[in-house]
Amino acid sequence: MTPTALRPHRGLKPVLAALAVAVLVAGCASSRGLAPEGKPLDADSLQAQRSLSGAAASDAAFPAQDWWTSLGDAQLNALIAEALAGTPNLDAADARVRQAIAQAGLADAARKPTVGAAAQYSGVQLPETLAPPPIGGSYQGVGILNLSFSYTFDLWGGERARWQAAVGQARAAEVDAQAARLTLSSGIARTYVALAQAFAAHDVALADHERASELLDLGRQRVAAGLDNQLQIRQAESAVASAQQQIQASEHEIEVARNALAALLGKGPDRGRDIAQPGLLAAASPNVPSVVPSELLGHRPDVVAARWRVEASQQGIKASKAAFYPTVNLVAIAGVAAGNLGDLFSSDALIYGGGPALTLPIFDGGRLRNQLARSDADYDLAVASYNQTLVGALREVADALHAARSLDGQIVSATQARDAAQDAWKIATARYRAGLGTQLDVLAAQRPLLEADRILTVLRAQRLAASIDLDRALGGGLALNAPGSDTASNNAAPNNAAPDSAAPNNDFAKAPTP
């Protein structure tokens, strides 16, 4: 058998000439007139000095990663550690990270050469009515073994841009996984505060029940002595029943908070039954770093993730623009083929061929222009989301700070009001015991005391929640991998690393703390 060869053209001049012509003709599918409109906000342009004045300190640091330990409750620390060890929400976030990393790997693989091997055997017997002997009426078989090689030259950087866009999305997914941990830990802390508030309300109801019961006992003694009548007994019994209802309501709130904590831990409701009454929680003083808002960009996971998506969308525009230019592919194949398997590895069975191929979009019905317009819109959407996230982040910091400062003042005033109400109740009770006052005076003094106790429990819980909100608004002490300004301006690879070494990692997704 004589060798069969498909030889590529020996000269490069025809290829180069075709490439030059293709570039000139590429104007038929033009990207002219298409450009994104969005522009990321400069964080320093968002004025916040006056809103944060009085609390920002040059030596104030961002929260620590275990910021919840400042609340001073060992049980809370254990609950958050248990949750961060793994819940369905965190598992889903980590799976999304792995999914994005795999997608970045696929985009990277598309930039590299491919080599494949194939083995094939096929045969056919043609009837003599179709072909005369010896072809007709006999079985003819052929075996083929070959190696193939293909490579697409990334002349315009489109494949690289697609890979960088996928890397940016993977980075965003990593930060989202950290955001899920911050959301979970702050959610547990807030629910734990709600549990503490429910227990405090239960204690208030018990104290009110004790006061009402003492008043009822005193009223029965006075009725027995002929000093009062049954009207006072009924009034005291009503106060006892009302206090009992408040006890039952607070017990319900305790169970609801315990169930919510169990769900946040990814466990069944019975897990909540093991959660004891919280200890005395301490609210940190409301301070923010003086570098806010500029430094907020590298600490807030939602801001960092939004910025990575802006970078990814920017690379998507580059990839869409590259599609307007010619594509050059190199394909080669080498192998052996023979009708007799015994001749398959003889020199006469050699077959090889290959060469470059050039493709150029000329008229595509507007597909490429619409694809670029969509990429521009994706970028504008990512920029708008980033800008809104940044504005919202600053608002959350300011709201939490103002709430903490206001609640500190309210707690002082409410404590003074509660002390005055308790003194009034003691005076009214003493006068009633001495026969100088009436039961109505005691009941009238008891209601403000009960209301003051309730207000204090609410204000203290709100103050603790404000402290949690401030730590969360400042990023929860996370050290995130954020894109730098040079990345945005120069379209550098994430982390400013060399293109082939900027693959995303899963370190954040596996971190045990948020």
Given this model, what pLDDT does residue 464 score? 92
Given this model, what pLDDT does residue 356 score? 86
Inside any domain, residue 487? yes
Given this model, what pLDDT does residue 492 score? 37
Given this model, what pLDDT does residue 227 score? 65
Inside any domain, residue 35? no
Final residue of a structural domain among 309, 339, 360: 360
Mean pLDDT of the chain: 79
Q: Do 144 and 226 fall within a single domain?
A: no
CATH code of the domain containing 14: 2.20.200.10
Given this model, what pLDDT does residue 329 score? 87
Mean of pLDDT values over 495-510:
34
Q: At what angle do helices 158-224 and 88-109 cross, to 10 degrees?
A: 170
Inside any domain, residue 173? yes
Final residue of a structural domain among 336, 360, 384: 360
Q: What is the pLDDT of residues 254-295, one digit of tens each?
A: 999 999 999 999 999 999 999 999 988 888 777 777 666 667
Band of residue 484 on the pLDDT scale cut at 50, 70, 90: low
Q: Do 227 and 279 fall within a single domain?
A: yes
* Cα-to-chain-centroid distance, residue 179: 4
Smallest CA-to-CA distance from 265 within 188, 201, 191 is with 188
Final residue of a structural domain among 315, 341, 360: 360
**Which residues 6+ apart lie within 8 Å of 472 measured at CB?**
182, 186, 396, 400
Using an 8 Å Cβ cutoff, are 307 and 482 in contact? yes
Inside any domain, residue 269? yes
**Which residues 6+ apart lie within 8 Å of 489 measured at CB?**
none
Inside any domain, residue 282? yes
Q: What is the number of structural domains in the chain?
A: 2
Band of residue 57 on the pLDDT scale cut at 50, 70, 90: low
Inside any domain, residue 339? yes
Q: Do 226 and 283 fall within a single domain?
A: yes
Q: What is the pLDDT of residues 241-255, one digit of tens each?
A: 988 998 999 999 999
Using an 8 Å Cβ cutoff, are 404 and 283 in contact? yes
Q: Do 355 and 418 fall within a single domain?
A: no
Given this model, what pLDDT does residue 300 score? 85
Q: What is the b/e burial string over 151-174, where b = at least 16 CB atoms within 10 angstroms of the residue's CB?
A: bbebebbbbbbbbbbbbbbbbbbb
Band of residue 8 on the pLDDT scale cut at 50, 70, 90: very low
Gap between the Cα atoms of 63 and 470, Å rounded: 9
Inside any domain, residue 46? no
Given this model, what pLDDT does residue 260 score? 93
Q: Do 342 and 206 fall within a single domain?
A: no
Mean of pLDDT values over 317-328:
88
- Residue 290 backbone dihedrals phi, psi, to 5 degrees: -70, -15
Mean of pLDDT values over 372-391:
91
5 is in which domain, residue-wise? 1-30+114-153+325-360
Given this model, what pLDDT does residue 6 score? 39
CATH code of the domain containing 63: 1.20.1600.10
Question: pLDDT above 70 covers what percent of the chain?
Answer: 79
Given this model, what pLDDT does residue 437 score? 75
Inside any domain, residue 42? no
Residue 59: pLDDT over 60 = no
Q: Which of 13-22, 253-262, 267-276, 388-397 has the lowest mean pLDDT?
A: 13-22
Residue 486: pLDDT over 80 = no
Given this model, what pLDDT does residue 281 score? 85
Q: Do 316 and 272 fall within a single domain?
A: yes
Q: Do 317 and 397 fall within a single domain?
A: yes
Q: Do 495 and 437 fall within a single domain?
A: yes
**Alpha-carbon distances, residue 285 vs 22, 189, 402, 476 (angstroms):** 67, 17, 12, 16
Given this model, what pLDDT does residue 60 score? 57
Q: Do 130 and 225 fall within a single domain?
A: no
Residue for token pair 């990207």: 31
Using an 8 Å Cβ cutoff, are 278 and 196 in contact? yes
Q: Do 90 and 139 fall within a single domain?
A: no
Q: Do 339 and 197 fall within a single domain?
A: no
Band of residue 512 on the pLDDT scale cut at 50, 70, 90: very low
* Higher per-residue confidence, 448 vs 461: 461
Given this model, what pLDDT does residue 248 score? 93
Mean of pLDDT values over 351-374:
85
Most confident by average pLDDT, 44-58, 103-117, 121-135 = 103-117
Q: Do 75 and 148 fall within a single domain?
A: no
Q: What is the pLDDT of residues 172-220, one digit of tens each?
A: 999 999 999 999 999 999 999 999 999 999 988 888 888 778 777 777 7
Strand spans (E) along 95-159: 114-125, 139-153
